[in-house]
Amino acid sequence: MIEGHGDDLYRYGDKVKSNFSSNIYCRFNHDGLKGYLAGRLGCMTSYPEPAPFSLERRLARDLDVDERCVIVTAGATDAIYRIADCFHRGSSWIMSRPTFSEYHDACEIAGHDFCNDVEDAGLVWICNPNNPTGEVVDRARLRDMASCNPEKVVVIDQSYSEYTEAPLLSPADASAMGNVILIGSFTKRFGVPGLRLGYMVGNAELIIRMRANARPWTVSQLGIDAGIYLLDHAEEYRLPLPMLLDEARRVGERLTSIGIKASPMATPFFLCETPECKSASQLKEYLIDEHGILIRDASNFSGLSGRHFRISVQSPEENDMLIKAIERWNML
């Protein structure tokens, strides 16, 4: 999906004063990273490593897994499409709904067949924490599901693993199991969507299979250098998660009290639904035009309606502005 993702800030320019549309925490201080990369610009005149092995070795240490169990990709989305490409055309797959659209798009492009029953699927996609709902499947349930279906490849996209306190499957879990691929994201962990860095973790045999379709030079040298820098400075990139989760619960409760349905909050982002006879697109345009606030119209997620939207909480002051603005709109 080229169009239709969240954070369409580029459409509105200076009109946006508060951005609730992106799930990614955007308040990290990147001055150190910027300064480091400024001193690395000379690498632009040479080819990077054909595959980002140096970053994979560094990431494997960080994840406490064998480096043979890790592949670094050009963002989590690259990992999704690469996984789909590794299955024979016509393979069966399944995902829950609503969820991230790229699983569907990748499998459709690869010529795979969607099925409605997990028993019939060879490839199972799970977004955990789930986008757009923010719901989380706990570690024990995921382990049981994968263990009980050894003939299936279970892809667990944990790009938002840093955004929940719920127990999740670990990289060590994934590398020890024979049928699980775990997707991770530098984008979400470090707030750097423009760098396009993601990764896969799994059993060494599965990862070898994923490498078979790898294109050379998919990750730039600046991306490799940035990834190593970020891992070396991970302590500087800690989410204020307790505060964000408290705000999510508070905002969700306030919205519910004024007639806006809100999904359970296990992450700082969650799904909302407008009252009947009102649409998310109308709310979005009102918030932009009248208050300079951007939300994510979620009506293009499969399984959702024109009344659904997603928000990711910001500062308490901005959250109060959002609540008051939606309350005014709801009274129109």
Mean of pLDDT values over 109-118: 95
DSSP, collapsed to helix, strand or coil, labels residue 294 as strand
Q: Residue 13 pLDDT more than 90?
A: no
- Band (pLDDT 50/70/90 cuts) for residue 195 is very high
> Would the pTM count as exceeding 0.85?
yes
DSSP H helices, 64-170, are 76-85, 102-109, 139-147
pLDDT at 11: 82
User: pLDDT tens digit string along 20-53?
Assistant: 999 999 999 999 999 999 999 999 999 999 999 9
What average pLDDT is seen over the chain?
95
**Is residue 224 within 8 Å of 43, Cβ to Cβ?**
no
Percent of the chain with pLDDT over 90: 92
- What pLDDT does residue 8 have? 77
- The pLDDT of residue 6: 55
| For residue 87, pLDDT beyond 70 | yes
Give the pLDDT band (50/70/90) at residue 121: very high
Measure CA of the first residue to CA of the last residue in the chain; give whole Å.
34
| pLDDT tens readout for residues 227-274 | 999 999 999 999 999 999 999 999 999 999 999 999 888 999 999 999
Task: List Cβ neighbours of 128 (8 Å cut-off, separation of 6 or more).
Answer: 136, 137, 142, 156, 157, 158, 168, 169
Q: Can you give the C-alpha Rg of the chain in angstroms?
A: 20
Q: For position 297, what pLDDT does the model report?
A: 95
Q: What's residue 265's pLDDT? A: 80
Q: What is the pLDDT of residues 133-145, one digit of tens each?
A: 999 999 999 999 9
What is the arithmetic mean of pLDDT over 203-211? 94
